[in-house]
Amino acid sequence: MDKMTTIPHTDQARIAGMGEPGKVRSRTRAAKRARGLSDRTMAWLFVAPTIALLLAINIFPLVWMIRLSFTSLNLSMSYLPLRFVGLDNFSDILSDEDIWVRLQTTAQFVIASVALQVVVGFGLALLINRRFRGHSFWTTIILLPMMLSPAVVGNFWTLLFQPQIGPFNYLVSLFTGVPPSSFSMTGEVALAPWTIVLVDTWMWAPYVMLICLAGLRSIPDYIYEAAEVDRASSWRQFWSITLPMTVPFLMLAVLFRAIENFKMFDMVNLLTSGGPGSTTELVSITLKRAAFEKWRTGYSSALAIILFVTVFGAANIYVKALNRVKQR
């Protein structure tokens, strides 16, 4: 293809299709033609290594996995010849009641933890937005948990939750009088699901807070001033100004947290490792056991693909939400 003739066209197309002022270019064509690689070659040279890496490490293995999902491969019996079983793995999974229970457990975890994070995070953002003295220092302190390694967090919370020696039960008993050794946060069917929600919220409410804070700060003052002139009550101002204008940001936070928690593995694996029984066995933990303990590679490939499709759909919505926020 002749680069010299195509480049001016693309330039015109860009100017004709502008809309984002930042994209308009006034670059002189003379300068571009003068020396060096053409822009088109350079663009490809710059993007190609990234795409190549992602194809090698993400897409190629994914395609391989799709193939495996139609087989009965089991790595602990890999001497058996590879046998294609069609859609058997998928129908096994979708008709397996246990898998549905794991998905339910995962959904409950996602809903409860994200809801709690929204309440705590949005509340904190509203308070921090009042700009009391020292608010930025305390904001940084609050943000620390979300920067930590989820695995390390899961691990050290097991110490804090130890019924006898852990400080958590002791603190609870100080305030409620319940003897500290009478309950175990990670060992009881009734408590364990709430324990993972609690630790997840401790870690990620700051994330929601930070994004909400950006939303609150994007609201121009004059809107509140106009509302004040109209004598709108502060309650009314919250419902008709603050909340609607923060919602796009909140949506972003909710979507991202939902995706992350849907694939949650590390923190829960170390905190409860799915127990007691299987009360906190999220679908990622099931997948890990099928793939890396039972070595049912064909079966777990199919399960992984089902999860992929779910996350991919959610990610699609997430990127749309990102773009909507960007336009503001």
Q: Which of residues 145-204 bind another protein (CB under 8 A)?
A: 145-152, 155-157, 159-160, 164-167, 170, 180, 202
Length of the chain counted residue by residue: 328
Cβ closest to another protein, residue 122 vs residue 262: 262
- 149 three-state secondary structure: coil
First to last CA, the chain: 39
Say whether residue 80 binds another protein (CB under 8 A): no
Phi, psi for 279 (deg, rounded to 5): -65, -30
Written as six digits, the tokens of 245 are: 């204008």
Least spacing, CB of residue 91 vs another protein, in Å: 19
The encoded tokens of residue 189 equal 């069917």
Contacts of residue 108, defined as CB under 8 A and 6 or more positions apart, other chains included, come to 193
Cβ-based nearer residue to another protein, 191 or 259 = 259
Q: Which is nearer to another protein, 57 or 189 (CB)?
A: 57
Binding of residue 284 to another protein (CB under 8 A) = yes
Q: Given the rule CB under 8 A, which of 82-90, 97-105, 109-117, 136-144 is the region that contacts another protein?
A: 136-144
Nearer to another protein, 80 or 147 (CB): 147
95 contacts another protein (rule: CB under 8 A): no
Closer by beta carbon to another protein, 189 or else 290: 290
Element (H, E) at 99: helix 97-128
Q: Which of 15, 18, 42, 94 binds another protein (CB under 8 A)?
A: 42
> CB 128 → another protein: shortest distance, Å?
6
Burial label for 197, CB within 10 Å (0-12, 13-18, 19+), is buried
User: Residue 301 CB, nearest distance to another protein (Å)?
Assistant: 6
Helix or strand (DSSP H, E) at 154: helix 150-160
Q: Is 319 in the site for another protein (CB under 8 A)?
A: yes
Using the rule CB under 8 A, is 232 a contact of another protein? no
Of 15, 18, 43, 119, the residue at the interface with another protein (CB under 8 A) is 43
> Contact region for another protein (CB under 8 A) — 83-91, 96-104, 186-194, 220-228?
220-228
User: Which residues 236-255 are close enough to bind another protein by CB under 8 A?
Assistant: 249, 252
Amino acid residing at 15: I
The enclosing H or E element of 196 equals: helix 192-217
> Does 70 sit near another protein (CB under 8 A)?
no
**92 sits near another protein (criterion: CB under 8 A):** no
Q: Are 128 and 216 in contact (CB under 8 A)?
A: no
Residue 183: both structure tokens together: 């309950």
Q: What are phi and psi of 71, to 5 degrees?
A: -115, 170
- In this chain, which stretch among 82-90, 107-115, 184-192, 209-217 interacts with another protein, using CB under 8 A? 209-217
Residues facing 84 on adjacent strands: 71
121 touches another protein by CB under 8 A: no
Q: Which amino acid is at 32?
A: K
Q: Is 231 helix (H, G, I), strand (E, B) or coil?
A: coil
Distance separating alpha carbons of residues 257 and 201, to the nearest angstrom: 10
Choice from 3, 40, 236, 294 touching another protein (CB under 8 A): 40
